[in-house]
Amino acid sequence: MRWIFYGGLSLVVLLDQAAKLWVRLHLEVGESLPVRDGFQLTYFRNSGAMGSSFEGYGRWFVLPALLVAVWAVYSLHKGMMRGVLMKLGAALFVGGAIGNAIDRIAFGWVTDFLDFGRGISNLADHAITAGLALILVQELVIGPLRRKYGKPCY
């Protein structure tokens, strides 16, 4: 079931980078494209972390992203990742971290564009958040149920 991890990771990086490329090619920095009520695409260059925290220190996040990716691959191959949710969560998390690391290495900033009216983010940011949520569900809900009842719970 390693394909869940590698497939999910690859899909996140591919979709994230394709969306960011489209934004860079079709919008000027600061330009917005309305999509529907409460949502628009707004091109923003973020030199920090999600929500523009740590502005100007984005390159400091490259090494931790790479270390997380290496740790996840190691854990996967050592059999430490159990359950579909853990593998998918790790894939989303690592894929998002790599997607943003690519931008930080290539440009020194991350292309953000998803504007819901309370901050601008990108697909990688949301993949990281969703991945963390799946990992927490696996570890805090499914894992304890599995230990209590002694059988696989997905």
The residue from 16, 103, 112, 115 that is catalytic is 112
| Other Cβ atoms within 10 Å of 20 Cβ, number | 23
Q: Is pTM beyond 0.85 here?
A: yes
pLDDT at position 150: 75
In the chain, where the domains are located: 2-148
Task: Report the alpha-carbon distance of residue 61 to residue 98 in Å, rounded.
Answer: 10
Beta strand pairing status for 39-46 and 120-121? unpaired
Tens of pLDDT along 102-146? Answer: 999 999 999 999 999 888 999 999 999 999 999 999 988 887 877
DSSP secondary structure letter of residue 6: H
- List for the chain the helix, strand, coil content (%; round to 5): 65, 15, 20
Please indicate whether residue 125 is annotated as part of the active site.
yes
